[in-house]
Amino acid sequence: MADQRGEELLRGKATSPRATFLELFFDVAFVFALTRVSNRLVDDFTVERRVFLPEAGQTLLLLLALWMVWSLTTWTTSRYNPERPEIQLVVAGSMFASMVMAVSLPEAFDTRGLSFAIGYVAVQVGRPLFLTVAMRHHPERHVAGRILVWAVVSAVPWIAGALVHNDARGVFWTVAVIIDYGAARLGWPLPGRGRSPASSWPVTGEHLAERYQQFTIIALGEMILISGFGFSMSEFAAAQWVAFAITFASTALLWRIYFYRAGTVLVEAVAGSARPGRLAESATYTHLVMVAGIVAAAVGYELVIGHPGGHTDPAWLTVIIGGPALFVLGRARFEYEVFGRVSRSRLVGLVVLVAMVPLVIRLPPLAVGAATTAVLGGIAAADALRARGRPPEQPAPPI
């Protein structure tokens, strides 16, 4: 009976590969969470008496924690039937914990470290614990069990870090993130039981591909949100109107570059892959890079809208130019995952973005933002020219 109940919790062939409305509802929490990340990063660049690199490193740690929660929840709904009440409870609980993390995020390295850590540990430990109990004597319970063991291990530095202050918290949480990502990358190994990498799981690849597409839209939506808030609070000067226009253009270009054409055929690529789990696992890290690039770009253009004229702080170039460059780098790898090749326009655009840093450092932020947008426009135009008169390219994943 227990085996039958466990089998019912797993996705079957009759289960739709499409994301459920509850999963889309779960994503709403991350619209808010990414906005909190962006706002914190803006403060890292603008608040006086802050040292940029440590502050930006802290924000990166928090983003990595959020991504771990989202990606493992997504893999859970790709392996288990999201239409079952038990799995819906897991998703709802993960959403609440994500909201706790999001509201704590701006002060996570100050007064709200414990609430952030508790939210993270609760979902990372609670999810596999619930699944281990729910699967009971089913063979698949061992996968949730090994994830539970490593979640408990990483919970120690997460909670310990929340109980200390200043640089010590960053050290503990860095160790915790390394444990979480290292364990996932190695397949949550256990003595005498080997590994169980996510790439070997019998997941619904089409579902994972669709979820990555949806999260990319969330990140782009956050870019629109933060630029809209920034512009609405500005003086509506002519330069700020121009900054807002190029910000919108850059958002549209990032959307175009992602979806044309690898992002559009990702579902088909995963479905047609000999090892869909391995391709989906690789795409997890690739999308993390692209999402980080979009978040950084959103912060960069927010700075351009708020301070279009005057001198460009050299640190600002890490987001105004570095954000789009990071996205293009991730997008180049994404193209290889889907088609087994990388377009020359991606490489040229990346080289141009890096090479123009010393050339624009004396220009005002508005000019730097415009130059970055022009490079993105060049990449999108090259894509359109390459595809003109040719049949749509079909995916050929090398993985």
In a domain, 392, yes or no: no
Do 252 and 189 lie in a common domain?
Answer: no
Do 116 and 213 lie in a common domain?
Answer: no
Are 187 and 196 spatial neighbours (Cβ–Cβ below 8 Å)?
A: yes
In a domain, 393, yes or no: no
**Final residue of a structural domain among 200, 221, 248:** 200
In a domain, 399, yes or no: no
In a domain, 120, yes or no: yes
Residue that has been written with the tokens 């040292």 in this structure: 51
CA distances from 184 to 72, 147, 178, 181, 281 (A): 10, 8, 10, 5, 10
Q: How far is CA 386 from the centre of its chain?
A: 29
- In sign, the C-alpha dihedral spanning 7, 8, 12, 14 is positive
In a domain, 341, yes or no: yes
In a domain, 272, yes or no: yes
In a domain, 395, yes or no: no
Do 171 and 266 lie in a common domain?
Answer: no
- pTM here is 0.95
**Final residue of a structural domain among 144, 172, 200:** 200
Q: What angle do CA 141, 142, 146 make, to 5 degrees?
A: 120
167-170's contacts with Cβ under 8 Å and 24+ in sequence apart are 167/54, 169/109, 169/113, 170/54, 170/57, 170/58, 170/61, 170/109
Do 326 and 313 lie in a common domain?
Answer: yes
Do 124 and 229 lie in a common domain?
Answer: no
d(CA 323, CA 332): 14
Give the contacts of 110 (CB within 8 A, at least 6 positions apart).
none
pLDDT in tens, the chain (399 residues): 446 777 889 987 778 888 999 999 999 999 999 999 999 999 888 876 455 668 889 999 999 999 999 999 999 999 999 999 999 999 999 999 999 999 999 999 999 999 999 999 999 999 999 999 999 888 888 999 999 999 999 999 999 999 998 789 999 999 999 999 999 999 999 999 899 988 888 778 889 999 999 999 999 999 999 999 999 999 999 999 999 999 999 999 999 999 998 999 999 998 888 888 899 999 999 999 999 999 999 999 999 999 999 989 999 999 999 999 999 999 999 999 999 999 999 999 999 999 999 999 999 999 999 999 999 999 999 999 998 888 889 999 997
Do 122 and 61 lie in a common domain?
Answer: yes
**Final residue of a structural domain among 166, 200, 234:** 200
Do 182 and 218 lie in a common domain?
Answer: no
CB hemisphere CA count around 176 (13 angstroms): 27
Do 178 and 261 lie in a common domain?
Answer: no
Do 62 and 19 lie in a common domain?
Answer: yes
Residue 69 pLDDT? 98
Give the contacts of 238 (CB within 8 A, at least 6 positions apart).
none
Do 223 and 164 lie in a common domain?
Answer: no
Residue 1 pLDDT? 47
Are 238 and 115 spatial neighbours (Cβ–Cβ below 8 Å)?
A: no
**CA dihedral angle for residue 30, residue 258, residue 250, residue 286, rounded to 10 degrees:** 60
- Amino acid making up residue 328: V
- DSSP secondary structure letter of residue 110: T
* Enclosing domain of residue 225: 205-387
Paired with 194 in beta bridges are 190
Are 160 and 172 spatial neighbours (Cβ–Cβ below 8 Å)?
A: yes
Do 158 and 218 lie in a common domain?
Answer: no
The CATH number of whichever domain residue 313 belongs to comes to 1.20.1410
In a domain, 394, yes or no: no
- 389: region left, alpha or beta (phi > 0 left; psi from -120 to 50 alpha): left
Do 193 and 229 lie in a common domain?
Answer: no
- Going through the chain in order, the beta strands assigned E by DSSP cover none
Work out how many domains the chain is built from and give that number.
2
Are 209 and 269 spatial neighbours (Cβ–Cβ below 8 Å)?
A: yes
In DSSP notation, 150-213 reads HHHHHHHHHHHHHTS-THHHHHHHHHHHHHHHHHHHHT--BTTTB---GGGS---HHHHHHHHH
Share of the chain above pLDDT 70, in %: 97
